[in-house]
Amino acid sequence: MLTTGIAAPDFELYQTPDSRLRLSNLRGKNVILAFYPADWSPVCGDQMSLYNEMETFFTRQQAQLIGISVDSRWSHAAYSEQHGFYFPLLADFEPKGAVSKLYDAFDESTGECRRALYVIDGDGIIRWSYLSPIGINPGADGILTALETIHTNNQP
C-alpha cells in the first residue's frame, strides 16, 4: 500500500462506456478510492452495495466515492444500473490492472484488485489507507473516521 502524506498518483479511466474520469479533476473534494475484486458479488454482504447506502454520510464530508475493479466498462454499466449506484465504477481494464498496480492494490495471483481503500484529501494527498483481507468487506467506519480527521485538521 502507498504511504500516507504523499500525492496520490494521477490516472484516467473509463467511468461509463463513453466517458473517462481523471483523478486530478476532483481537486477540492475528498476522494474515497475503493478497489474491489469483482462486480456481481452477493448483495447482502457486498461492499459497493453497502457504500451505496452511505451517500449522505460521504456527501456530508464533501467526499466523492469511486469504485475500481478490473471489470470492463460494460460490466460496470450493467452492475451499476442493476444496483442503482450513485457513484462511478472505474474500469481498470486495459492495460489490465495498471492503476491498481500503481496503488499496490493488484493481486497477481488472481488477476483481480485487492480490497484496498484510500482516502485522498482535496489537495490530492493520501491521508489514509487500509487493506482488508480479500473475503472481508471492510465496512465504512475507517473511511468515516479518516474523513472526519481531515475535516478537523482543516479547521482554522
Does 149 participate in binding other proteins (rule CB under 8 A)? no
Does 138 participate in binding other proteins (rule CB under 8 A)? yes
141: cell is 467506519
Give the active site residue among 44, 135, 141, 152: 44
Does 148 participate in binding other proteins (rule CB under 8 A)? no
Subset of 62-121 contacting other proteins (CB under 8 A):
83-84
**Strand-pair category, 30-35 with 115-120:** antiparallel
Is 44 in the active site?
Answer: yes
Phi-psi region of 124 (alpha: psi -120 to 50; beta: other; left: phi over 0): left
Q: Which of 68, 77, 140, 146 binds other proteins (CB under 8 A)?
A: 140
* Strand spans (E) along 50-114: 63-69, 89-91, 106-107, 112-113
Residues marked as catalytic: 44
